[in-house]
Structure 1
């Protein structure tokens, strides 16, 4: 069973101003640089939960994802930061955050210039439909080319249901209309094939192992549930029910693709 490592952030290097959450490039006590995602940013702990579950499920399905680690932020960290907005963000993010290993010299995926295998494109479209990831579009691909391979980053906008926490059963059974904007949809010609392949790889224990990695304090921060275990059971049930009814989101993706090509 893969378990996330924990690192201590030692140095704030620079803000990364993509999107509204102000992630940062930071150095940790293991000597590596990380893209640091803050619990005090816009969507707070829910973005970190989605990042962790989405990224770790993708990794178990054979998709390339930078190593995800827990990142501990000391109370004194950032006191010397001159930018008030960043200083407030650091103060509001003391404790446990999330970070992804920084892929040095990686290039942003350009759909006009970069080639991608149709089977891989289909797997990523299928996966993003399963976890309801709205944020892999032409405007913001959240894909990198590193060592000539395609890497997935930023799953923090996944699991739309957990922002309202109401009718999650209904949302688990719903199609995912926003897949029409997916950057890889035009290349995803093997969706029916990968549907069978992906479902054969996913087990209940895999889902449970990934969800169990989410810290209790993140799950309880929004006060949507009484206990952390209750929250975990909902994430597991959402993913399982959606998987069992994958034809619903598969049909949506195939219809959206037909409208494009």
Structure 2
């Protein structure tokens, strides 16, 4: 489900990113090279749990038809780490889990979503899918301070899911989107929790929730079990946390009509 890769070279630190990702070139089993953004467990505001959240978020988003860059597991072997010239980067890699999470670099044509950007008619369904995804999995990191959305003309890519599924840290309110009022944070305009799409989707008469219901209802127990099976041995310590997140996804699926009713209320 997620390919493994080995690093060929360290290119440079990423230009931005709260978790201080790194730019690497990696090699997959088919001898193809890929430029990727790599997150390591010793990154700022990151951990093995954050890497696991990235894994789960990328798998779930793809299954829901949301655009993501291809994820990779990157093996940080000691020989590669010692080849990194920068001492500070070498120290971070040494202190990290031997397995990192990476996403394929989108390319130079892409930029971050800006507050001045507008949702056009052809993007309404996708925007609705993204705000539902973020609300239903407690991803509060697609707001005015950081859009975590890459844009190229009318194409989008959602990125950065390390902060999703943080149910143990977000207790007030706990993420239970099947309860009325639980998604209120999405439309607190002017606050950090405001979702980048909340204002533009509010009070529209062309919102169709049918596709959302179909995709979330289609998350089978077998598919969710595959998420659990994807967890690499190197991150085994996070399995109880992953199990909690998967249970949450089952609750969203089984209560999808209530979840959609709450989302509709927020966007009224």
| TM-score normalised by length of structure 2 | 0.80
Counterpart check, 1:98 vs 2:69: no
120-129 or 86-95, which deviates more:
86-95
Counterpart in the other structure of 1:156: 162
198-207 or 124-133, which deviates more:
198-207
Counterpart in the other structure of 2:39: 37
Distance 1:147 1:203, change over 3 A: farther
- Unaligned runs of 5+ residues in structure 1 are 222-227
RMSD: 2.7
> Matched residues in 2 for 1:231 and 1:210: separation?
12
Counterpart in the other structure of 1:141: 147
> Matched residues in 2 for 1:5 and 1:144: separation?
23
Counterpart check, 1:127 vs 2:133: yes
| Displacement after TM superposition at 1:194 (Å) | 4.4
Whose RCO is larger (CA < 8 A, sep 6+)?
Answer: 1
Which of 193, 198, 201 pairs up with 2:215?
Answer: 198
Q: Deviations over 1:1-55 (max 9, x none)?
A: xx11100012111112534311011101231100101122233111111111111
| Displacement after TM superposition at 1:248 (Å) | 5.1
CA contact (8 A) 1:122 1:187 kept: no
> Matched residues in 2 for 1:162 and 1:61: separation?
24
Secondary structure of the residue that 1:54 maps to in structure 2?
A: helix
Counterpart in the other structure of 2:244: 234
CA contact (8 A) 1:143 1:151 kept: yes
Distance 1:242 1:133, change over 3 A: same
| Runs of 4+ off more than 4 Å | 170-174
| TM-score normalised by length of structure 1 | 0.82
CA contact (8 A) 2:8 2:26 kept: yes
Which of 68, 75, 80 pairs up with 1:77?
Answer: 80
Distance 1:107 1:231, change over 3 A: closer
- Unaligned runs of 5+ residues in structure 2 are 188-193
Q: Deviations over 1:185-242 (max 9, x none)?
A: 2233426444423333322222221232112432416xxxxxx4x5543222111113
In the alignment of these two chains, the number of paired residues is 246
Q: Deviations over 1:153-179 (max 9, x none)?
A: 111110021448x89xx6446624432
